[in-house]
Structure 1
Amino acid sequence: MGSTAAWTLPREPTSTATLRRLGVSRKSIATQARRGSLVQLRQGVYLAAGAWPEDRRAQQLILAKAEVAANPEAVISHQSAALAWELPSPDVDGWTDLPVSITLPATGGYRSSRGATGVHHVARLPAGHVCRDESGYLLTSLARTAVDLAAVRPLPEALVILDGAARRLCQGFVTTPRRSDFTNPAFMAQTKEQLLGAAHLCRHSGLAAAIGLSEPCRESAAESLSAGHFHCAGLPTPIFQAAIRTPIGVFYPDCLWPELRVIGECDGAVKYTDPNAYLREKQREQALRDQGYLVVRWLAREILTSPAVVVERVGRALDC
């Protein structure tokens, strides 16, 4: 199209070179940017202003796609891929406050770098470690993403990522996952096999122990973090999400030490919009106490910011 012709503003991050190939002049690009109709995501990459999302997660994914637009051989990876896969983060701020991340092929003569637009990794990505999102962008597979991120974290934090990946992998084995699917021995073995395979190809053999501890049944980052800290402290390993029958129903506590009849519960920052929710929680806990269980509780923020306090509290309950 000519320089004065009307053109459709891009709804996906698009490079200047691509726009030029479509017949859009540099002057027209500059005009639309000056009017505020076109947003410059990074040098040489643009997006229609109306396509810029309000959600912080979606914004980060758009910026990762902008890096791919500027580096066509790139694959969205690490924390940016974790956002795409909705993997839990072991950090207070989550993945959205980290720079966007891409991986470039090891055979392209690229060098790893960290700049204003994000982090560029250079690595070998076998075909099985790459897939496409719904928009067609390349990103690292779920297992590869988890391994890349967990490899540079200590055990409690790595377990958050690995548990989250294991849970997502389990969800992919069935159409409608049930609670029992996350403790299915065959499914658990398959998730660990995929994670171990990715770790082996990436030469992250040190992750084998952490992968061995991963369990898809753990339902939150705080629960996984707790499991990691308990393991590191040498506390007895609990059963996670085990069924306990009471006169008022079946409950699935976060942690259960059956021989010691101790239950551990990690409480998130839940706002009870239902006025009866707090009462039901107290009834649930009393039903467990009536069954002869000692219930010990801690907050999600406590295990994140003061894990030694939680470990000591649980250790007292276990008489360790």
Structure 2
Amino acid sequence: MTELLDRHRLASEGVGWRRVAELRRQGSLLRLRPGIFVRAEQFTRAPTATRALLRAHALAATTHEPGVFSHTTAAAAHGLPVVRTDDRVHTTDIDARGAARVGVVRHRGPLADDDIVRLGPLRCTSLARTLADLARTAPCETSIAAMDAALRAAGPNAQALRETVGLIARRSAHGVSRAMGRLAFADGGAESPGESISRIHLVRVGFRVRTQIVVAGPRGREYRVDFEIDDVLGEFDGAAKYSDPNLLGGRTPEQALLAEKRREDEIRGVTQRRLVRWQWPEIASSDALENHLRGLGVRPRQTRGAFLTLGTELGPPW
């Protein structure tokens, strides 16, 4: 687990300032803020969301008025996935003037009282305000992955959350059409950021997409397939399902792989349809996924770039 190390913690471990300077020169310690360090190997291997949160906590520990943490930083604090972006700290304040801070993006804008929540020691934008900010301003993949996860976690309250995010987004003078398109595109059925990013690319290249398709298998089993893309079934195959102990459920990776092959055989047998798979390298871009699927003989029926809007007033989510 990556931890912040201040001078008191380092001193308790017998590490004085001269040794700190030496460890920094060697690349073993990284300074996040004055007097706040992390072990470099742990930090660089940590997910983007973890790194962003560590930077936020370091800023809060060394700054009297850091502002309200927002955008991807707030998303990380709310436990949402943070993908396809850097780990800079984002804050929002009514007055974002003043000296620039290294590694900090300062946004200027009004914040209502109910736009602000406290998550541990951090003052952050609320979940709905965070999603609205991301919908208006963040890269498409970043905002859709976060919105999908938030809607999924909201369960029966997903529609209420979607409406609240829309109301907040409409307060702004910028990015409203983009935000509305992304809200319409968001799908709480997505079970991972990989599925969210896959859906974006599939629609971009012209596939008509349905998510979480239910297949009734033999012996009363019921399976869910990530996507129906035109008349083909498709799945994003994250490596974690074969390596993460929480997903393995006591099985070995070999047992998990064999179980997945049996599942796939039964789905194909029952549906008499092709099932194609892809992994993270194939969703690096829309071109990469399209080329992968074309190599498997799967081609979209629509023209590239077609977007299946839910209303003419909506802008595309890209």
Q: TM-score, normalised by structure 2?
A: 0.69
Q: CA deviation at 1:161?
A: 2.7
User: 1:180-223, CA deviations, whole angstroms, 9 ceiling, x for partnerless residues?
Assistant: x4xx5xx3321311221221123431210110111111011121
| Conservation of the 8 A alpha-carbon contact between 1:76 and 1:101 | yes
Partner of 1:87: 80
Residue 123 in structure 1 maps to residue 109 in structure 2: yes
Inter-partner Cα distance in structure 2 for 1:284 and 1:72 = 54
For structure 2, the residue ranges without an aligned partner over 5 or more in a row are: 7-14, 21-29, 244-251, 303-318
Partner of 1:205: 176
Match in the other structure for 1:276? 255
One-letter code aligned to 1:214: A
What residue in structure 2 maps to residue 103 of structure 1? 92
Query: Quick one: structure 1 residues 98 and 12, their matched pair in 2 at CA, closer, same or farther if it must change by over 3 Å?
Result: closer
> Does the 8 A contact of 1:88 with 1:221 survive in 2?
yes
- Following the alignment from structure 1 to structure 2, what is the Cα–Cα distance between the partners of residues 112 and 150? 27
What is the Cα deviation at residue 289 of structure 1?
A: 1.1
Distance 1:255 1:295 in 2: 9
Looking at structure 2, the residues matched to 245 and 221 of structure 1 have their Cα atoms a distance apart, in angstroms, of 26
Give 3-state SS (helix, strand or coil) of 2:81's partner. coil
> For residue 274 of structure 1, what is the amino acid of its counterpart?
P
Query: Which segment drifts farther, 156-165 or 274-283?
Result: 156-165
Question: What does residue 283 of structure 2 align with?
Answer: 303
Q: Distance in 2 between matches of 1:319 and 1:59?
A: 41
1:250 and 2:243 matched: no
Q: CA deviation at 1:304?
A: 2.1
Give the CA deviation at 1:154: 5.1
Letter in 1 for 2:33: R
2:194 pairs with 1:215: no
Query: What is the Cα deviation at residue 295 of structure 1?
Result: 0.8
The separation in 2 between residues aligned to 1:61 and 1:122, in whole angstroms, is: 21
Structure-2 separation of matches of 1:41 and 1:319:
50
SS at match of 1:254: strand
Deviates further, 203-212 or 67-76: 67-76
Structure 2 residue matching 1:252: 3-state secondary structure: strand
Residue of structure 1 aligned with 2:236, choices 247, 266, 280: 266
> After the TM superposition, which residues 1-320 of structure 1 pair with which residues of structure 2 at under 5 Å, given as runs?
34=17, 42-43=33-34, 46=35, 56=46, 58=50, 60-68=52-60, 69-72=62-65, 74-91=67-84, 97-106=86-95, 110-111=96-97, 115-135=101-121, 137-153=122-138, 155-168=140-153, 170=154, 181=155, 187-203=157-173, 204-206=175-177, 207-238=179-210, 240-248=211-219, 249-256=221-228, 260=231, 262-270=232-240, 271-272=242-243, 273-291=252-270, 292-305=272-285, 306-310=288-292, 312=294, 316=298
Instruction: Kindly tell me the number of residue pairs found equivalent between the two proteins.
Output: 267
Question: Aligned equivalents of 1:163 and 1:283: distance in 2?
Answer: 29
1:13 Cα shift? 10
Query: Highest Rg: 1 or 2?
Result: 1
Deviation at 1:86, TM superposition (A): 2.6
The 1:233–1:113 alpha-carbon spacing in structure 2 relative to 1, beyond 3 Å, is farther
**Ranges in structure 1 where 5+ consecutive residues have no aligned partner:** 1-10, 15-31, 171-180
Closer, same or farther in 2 for the Cα pair 1:283/1:227, shift >3 Å? same
Which amino acid letter does the alignment assign opposite residue 105 of structure 1?
Answer: I
Q: Distance in 1 between matches of 2:295 and 2:100?
A: 41
Secondary structure of the corresponding residue to residue 224 of structure 1: helix
- Provide TM-score, normalisation by structure 1: 0.69
Give the % identical residues: 25
SS at 2:164 equivalent:
helix
C-alpha separation in 2, matches of 1:313 and 1:139: 45
